[in-house]
Amino acid sequence: MNKKELISSIAERTGVTKKDSGEVLDVILDVITEQMILGNEIKISGFGLFKIYKQPERECRNPKTGEKLTVGAKKVPKFKFSQNVKTIVNGDK
């Protein structure tokens, strides 16, 4: 499912126009992104957790040349589904 199909599905289920559904979805995604940039967790109870993990600087090797490289520290966005969603997806509910 892509974003357009998601917007259509939201519009059908809520009775709201596709335009309004798209605007709400865009705002939700913007807020989640802004909060992650600030380093905040976004927990949606019963669905999951958006979180930023800090990956430390590390050494690795170029697979072609074997040369040692240093990869700088970075922030990695992650999402972890709640146990509730995992249970539903596995057909246990």
**What local confidence, expressed as pLDDT, does residue 43 receive?**
96
- Burial class from Cβ neighbours inside 10 Å (0-12, 13-18, 19+) for residue 52 reads middle
Query: What pLDDT, on the 0 to 100 scale, is given for residue 92?
Result: 73
pTM of the model: 0.78
User: Do 62 and 26 share a structural domain?
Assistant: no
CB 75 within 8 A of CB 54: yes
Consecutive 10-residue averages of pLDDT for the chain (93 residues): 96 96 96 94 96 94 92 94 93 73
Return the pLDDT at 93.
59
54, 79: one domain: yes
Residue 93 lies in a domain: yes
Flag whether 20 is in a domain: yes
Q: With respect to residue 90, please indicate whether it lies within any of the assigned structural domains.
A: yes
* Continuous H helices in the chain: 3-14, 18-37, 83-89
